Structure 1
Amino acid sequence: MEFSEHIRTANVENVVLRHPFHPSTKGTLCITGHHLIFSDRENQSCRQVVLLLRNIDAVEKSVENLLGNSGLLSSARRKERLGKRVPSSGTLTIKCKDLCVLQLDIPGMEQCLNIAHSIEALSSLNEVVDMYPFFHRPSDASLQDQWGLSGPQQQYHQMEALRDRWRLSDVNGDFTVCPSYPPTALVPKTVSDKMLLKAARFRQAGRFPVLCYHHRKNGKVIMRSSQPLMGANRKRCREDELLLQAVIDGSDKGYIIDTRSSQQAQQAWMTGGGFESKSSYPGWTRLHRQIERGKGLQESLIKLVEACGDQTNNMDRWLSKLENSKWLHHVQTALSTAGLLAECVERDGHSVLVHGSEGTDCTLLISTLAQLIMDPGCRTLEGFLTLLEREWVQGGHPFQQRCARSAHSHARLQQESPVFLLLLDCVWQLWYQFPLALGFSEDLLLRLATEAYASNYGTFLCNSDWERCATGVKEKTHCLFQALLKPRERELYSNPLYESTELAIWPSVHPQSLQLWRGFFLRWSQQGRHLEEAHKEMRTMICEWGSLALR
């Protein structure tokens, strides 16, 4: 595809840019296939703003045609304007997925509309191979570099304790069994690949139960899957039942945490889905913990962003809007459910299976948070990125669908849902409550929140590993996680206060313990600016103290 087909006007002079924390400046606006570039040539510094078009969520046009509106003027004034042929002008308000809002004052109504059309067309391209990661070539990286950090193979080989009862299966080697799973999976040794094939047919989208976490302290595990397809006629799958029985072999019981309410599970049962019945899965106790996803969670984000943009400075109104958004309620529910999962494994000593409907959203949210709570290895910078890669990228979270739009888009809600953003908010709550226990900084969480919606890297492209292989993402783009572990980036995103601990970190979920993630939701406000400056100053002081202590 030729990007030039969508560019009606490539350059406009004398454009005024209004950008948060900077004075208004006049300069040249340029549109390329992937970027909006503003250059201020009036000042000696020659400031340049480069915005990835994929980061644009909505464009609002305000065109003022002074000639067309001249009826509002006096007859003499109208003649004066007509004589001078005063040109029309327009303002574009650009609302980004990272919540930044820019304004562009563009001379000429036609040019303004052309720019708006070009931005709207280029920011919503759906073909993966047309997106910027396929064109991004950083000077410090090569396409021959390793793509990704680890996989099930590395997980298996790093844990000798797994080898007695678990094995690596390549039943999904060609992605035909489950397109959203990686080619290899960890399963009980007593379960053959033929059994896995039958269990996959009994689970939605083929997501049969696989191991995602092995607890070193007591050998218990966390499994994840999608819902069983028992339907109204109460179908059974002996192979699926044997698979789960093999997980708790030798122990008294296990828990199934269903991220739907009991009522939602019953409704799914009537439409072909369902849940594990006690009679078919003896030894397993089912717990329902409803976690919002889909349209409800997207609307919650929209309401929260609207509240954060309220300029009335009315505290009662602000608190009311914050409460009505229910975003912190979703944070509380996610942390509470993850805490329950961690308690089952860490304190009670039982293995757990987690699933909802598809098993690609809230299932991954809960399993990730529980591992952070229990496992100190997941709390280092590299450990956390490896965890995200294993659970979300390889685990089949549909990033391209969920992060297609953010909070400002006027498009009708389809499959968008900020589940990954909810995860990062929950991790920030852990970071806020345990400032010494996590080896990465808030800056890393902010970077990940931005990259998930618009990135130079291919890590969050597509909806599954199968799609990434089919489109050549791993051969033709660079890996974000590899870039974040380079020395300069590692220094920026590490927590200078980090002190490793083997203890579990149990978050408080009382309402007074949960905070609005101001670093993200208020990052473009003056308050957020002051917080950012304070954090940078504190970080500099801590690093300086650390350097002095080492001398």
Structure 2
Amino acid sequence: MELAEHIKTATVERVVLTRPFQAPARGALCLTGHHLLFSGRDGDGDGDRGRQLLLLLRSVDAVEKRTVASSGTITLKCKDLCVLQLDIPGMEECLNIASSVEALSALDRVTQMYPFFYRPSNSSLDGPWGLSTPEKDLVQLAGLQDKWRVSHINSDYSVCPTYPAAVIVPRTVDDQTLVKAAQFRQGGRFPVLCYYHQKNGTVIMRSSQPLPGANRKRCRDDELLLQAVIDGSEVAYIIDTRSGQQAQQARMTGGGFESKTFYNSWKRLHRHLERGKVLQESLIKLVEACSDQSHSVDRWLSKLENSKWLTHIHSALSTAGLVAECVERDGHSVLIHGFEGTDSTLLVTTLAQLILDPDARTLRGFLALLEREWVQAGHPFQLRCAHSAYSHTRLKQESPVFLLMLDCVWQLCRQFPLAMEVGEPLLLRLAQEAYASNYGTFLCNSEQERCAVDIKTRTHCLFQFLLRPDKRDEYINPLYQPTHLAIWPSVQPQSLHLWWGFFLRWTDHAQNMAEAREVMWRIVAERFEDES
């Protein structure tokens, strides 16, 4: 179906828009295939001229409508937690607009989405797309080339549909061994390198669960691959992001865990991280708490605790700290996996690298890290970020694990205000872009799917845009002072805080924080002027 066929009423006059931080405005409403446009008009002396709204329909999470006599009200609840109200004269127009927004905000075909139509005047599709490749990573890391290599065994995505075309693996392991090891891993996600610690040569690997099943099958090729990783070391660690009970239960459906008998150099530790529906319900409860208008502190704290969102942050940061401790302090390599290896695994590998790697804490390094560990590594953005906290549709594939990761990064920024070049505005922008974007970076569920619709030649890259010189200052921390030391986050209850800037973004508190950031920038700028 063409986009225009979803639009039953294209324009409506005398609409009243109510949104956070602004007085109600009267004007004209226009609906296109991808946007809702509102233009303020002069009228009744209320000074509406100049009030504008351009809303990407993909950002709408839920549409609620109410009709009374010859008029109606539409409430648009957005994925960034903003709530808009449209008072529309005419019951039929109200129902038509609501129906059209519901349809256009939930398009299924990727090529119908706005990134394929977005053409900014100051950018070209011929420019570079993306920040990192395995080849670049291998060249940049000293000492990596002797023991590791880039394999193109997955160039046609037949070995692992969710892996990129190229991955870094031990040099002593041939491609035939990789193919057989992939057959022993969920979804073909065999162990690959994601971080090399230059201080001591240890590494962080990631994969999916092995498939020994109830019969305790073994795979000598998988054993050989993991033995090549540690290269004669006495011990290494497997961090399983499932509980021991979950890992045991997985054997009944063909999955399982690495046997101590066959992987005798690897010690397995279980660090249970919730995922899927549990995380989604946690987000919903947290947003409900933040929307509570009762103004009762006890009720607010009770709802915050019951959401368990901060508990998930605690689990993620403590697991990442454990991985970093194994690598940095104990000098042992680590393999991380859960079930599929596309959610909690990526959460832990990302946070562990931020703890260990100073380069990952820079603006460019952080974006390159997200590209490697989330976009290229096969996090299914289209499935996980189909809806946010307001939607009445509950798809079992949805999960805010990427948002949880950004929240954990915010905790790091808060605890180490000088060590992270990443600023809160960047985290807020990424949280918004993952759910609805002008750019193609977070579209689809894997590199294979992106190649099938030519994402890199038909859409613009978000990360390249964020690194432009005229945009960079908007997203960096003005207090940043580089350090080559690891940063060790505290996970004590008093050290973890609600991410006010996101969950209370549309309240007066968020406005105060924005004003505080402006003052901070001004002070820093004046200091630099005095020093020069």
Q: Fold match, TM over 0.5?
A: yes
What does residue range 79-158 of structure 1 map to in structure 2 within 5 Å? 88-158=70-140
Q: What do the CA deviations read for 1:315-364 (whole angstroms, capped 9, x no partner)?
A: 00000000000000000000000000000000000000000000000000
Quote the offset at 1:494 in angstroms.
1.4
What does residue range 232-311 of structure 1 map to in structure 2 within 5 Å? 232-311=214-293
Quote the offset at 1:539 in angstroms.
2.0
Q: Which residue of 1 aligns with 2:60?
A: 56
Q: Which residue of 2 aligns with 1:548?
A: 530
Q: Which residue of 2 aligns with 1:33?
A: 33
Counterpart CA distance in 1 for 2:525 and 2:106 is 42
AA at the equivalent of 2:432: T
Counterpart CA distance in 2 for 1:414 and 1:533 is 39
Q: Which of 294, 301, 306 is the equivalent residue of 1:312?
A: 294
Contact kept in structure 1, 2:3 and 2:33, CA below 8 Å: yes
Q: Which of 441, 444, 460 is the equivalent residue of 1:478?
A: 460
Contact kept in structure 1, 2:27 and 2:48, CA below 8 Å: no
Counterpart CA distance in 2 for 1:544 and 1:359 is 47
**SS, match of residue 311 in structure 1:** coil
**SS, match of residue 378 in structure 1:** helix
Relative to structure 1, the CA distance from residue 41 to residue 548 in structure 2 (aligned partners, 3 Å threshold; closer, same or farther) is: farther
Counterpart CA distance in 2 for 1:158 and 1:504 is 20
Counterpart CA distance in 1 for 2:528 and 2:292 is 41
Q: Which residue of 2 aligns with 1:84?
A: none
Q: What do the CA deviations read for 1:17-67 (whole angstroms, capped 9, x no partner)?
A: 0010000010000100000001002247522100000000000111112xx
**SS, match of residue 141 in structure 1:** coil
Q: Which residue of 2 aligns with 1:70?
A: none
What does residue range 369-380 of structure 1 map to in structure 2 within 5 Å? 369-380=351-362
Contact kept in structure 1, 2:6 and 2:100, CA below 8 Å: yes
Quote the offset at 1:413 in angstroms.
3.1
Contact kept in structure 1, 2:418 and 2:480, CA below 8 Å: yes
Q: Does 1:409 align with 2:413?
A: no
**SS, match of residue 14 in structure 1:** strand
Counterpart CA distance in 2 for 1:146 and 1:124 is 30
Counterpart CA distance in 1 for 2:525 and 2:488 is 28
Contact kept in structure 1, 2:142 and 2:198, CA below 8 Å: no
Counterpart CA distance in 2 for 1:97 and 1:488 is 27
AA at the equivalent of 1:466: Q
Q: Which residue of 2 aligns with 1:4?
A: 4
AA at the equivalent of 1:435: P
AA at the equivalent of 1:13: E
Q: What do the CA deviations read for 1:256-289 (whole angstroms, capped 9, x no partner)?
A: 0000000000110111100001001011000000
**SS, match of residue 544 in structure 1:** helix
Q: Which of 517, 521, 531 is the equivalent residue of 1:535?
A: 517
Q: Which residue of 2 aligns with 1:197?
A: 179
Quote the offset at 1:251 in angstroms.
1.1
Unaligned runs of 5+ in 1: 66-87
Quote the offset at 1:140 in angstroms.
1.6
**SS, match of residue 8 in structure 1:** coil
Q: Which residue of 1 aligns with 2:381?
A: 399
Q: Which residue of 1 aligns with 2:507?
A: 525
Q: Which residue of 2 aligns with 1:19?
A: 19
Percent of aligned pairs with the same amino acid: 68
Q: Which residue of 1 aligns with 2:154?
A: 172
Counterpart CA distance in 2 for 1:412 and 1:446 is 24
Counterpart CA distance in 1 for 2:525 and 2:175 is 52
- Larger Rg, first or second structure (1 or 2): 1
**SS, match of residue 29 in structure 1:** strand
Q: Does 1:230 align with 2:192?
A: no
Q: What do the CA deviations read for 1:75-123 (whole angstroms, capped 9, x no partner)?
A: xxxxxxxxxxxxx111111000000000000001100000000000000
Q: Which of 38, 50, 63 is the equivalent residue of 1:46?
A: 50
Counterpart CA distance in 1 for 2:407 and 2:195 is 22
Counterpart CA distance in 2 for 1:100 and 1:529 is 14
Aligned length: 528
Q: Which residue of 1 aligns with 2:448?
A: 466
Counterpart CA distance in 1 for 2:108 and 2:24 is 33
Q: What do the CA deviations read for 1:215-246 (whole angstroms, capped 9, x no partner)?
A: 01100000000000110011110000000001
Contact kept in structure 1, 2:25 and 2:51, CA below 8 Å: no
Q: Which residue of 2 aligns with 1:211?
A: 193
Quote the offset at 1:138 in angstroms.
1.1
Counterpart CA distance in 2 for 1:141 and 1:174 is 30
**SS, match of residue 167 in structure 1:** strand
Counterpart CA distance in 1 for 2:274 and 2:529 is 46
**SS, match of residue 102 in structure 1:** strand
Q: Which of 484, 487, 492 is the equivalent residue of 1:502?
A: 484
AA at the equivalent of 1:27: G
AA at the equivalent of 1:48: Q
Counterpart CA distance in 2 for 1:45 and 1:536 is 27
**SS, match of residue 369 in structure 2:** helix
Counterpart CA distance in 1 for 2:524 and 2:92 is 53
AA at the equivalent of 1:57: D
AA at the equivalent of 1:14: R
Unaligned runs of 5+ in 2: none
AA at the equivalent of 1:47: R
Counterpart CA distance in 1 for 2:245 and 2:362 is 39
Q: Which residue of 2 aligns with 1:421?
A: 403
AA at the equivalent of 2:94: C
Counterpart CA distance in 1 for 2:143 and 2:525 is 39
What does residue range 341-360 of structure 1 map to in structure 2 within 5 Å? 341-360=323-342
Relative to structure 1, the CA distance from residue 45 to residue 16 in structure 2 (aligned partners, 3 Å threshold; closer, same or farther) is: closer
Q: Does 1:185 align with 2:167?
A: yes
Q: CA RMSD in A?
A: 0.9
**SS, match of residue 168 in structure 1:** strand
**SS, match of residue 72 in structure 2:** strand
Quote the offset at 1:533 in angstroms.
1.8
Quote the offset at 1:536 in angstroms.
2.0
AA at the equivalent of 2:263: Y
Q: Which residue of 2 aligns with 1:328?
A: 310
Quote the offset at 1:488 in angstroms.
1.3
AA at the equivalent of 1:306: E
**SS, match of residue 193 in structure 2:** strand
Contact kept in structure 1, 2:240 and 2:336, CA below 8 Å: yes
Q: What do the CA deviations read for 1:189-223 (whole angstroms, capped 9, x no partner)?
A: 11110000000000010000000000011000000
**SS, match of residue 160 in structure 1:** coil
| TM-score, length basis structure 1 | 0.95
AA at the equivalent of 1:5: E
Segment of structure 1 superposing worse, 174-183 or 336-345: 174-183
Q: Which of 416, 423, 439 is the equivalent residue of 1:441?
A: 423
AA at the equivalent of 1:339: G
Counterpart CA distance in 1 for 2:224 and 2:140 is 27
Quote the offset at 1:178 in angstroms.
0.6
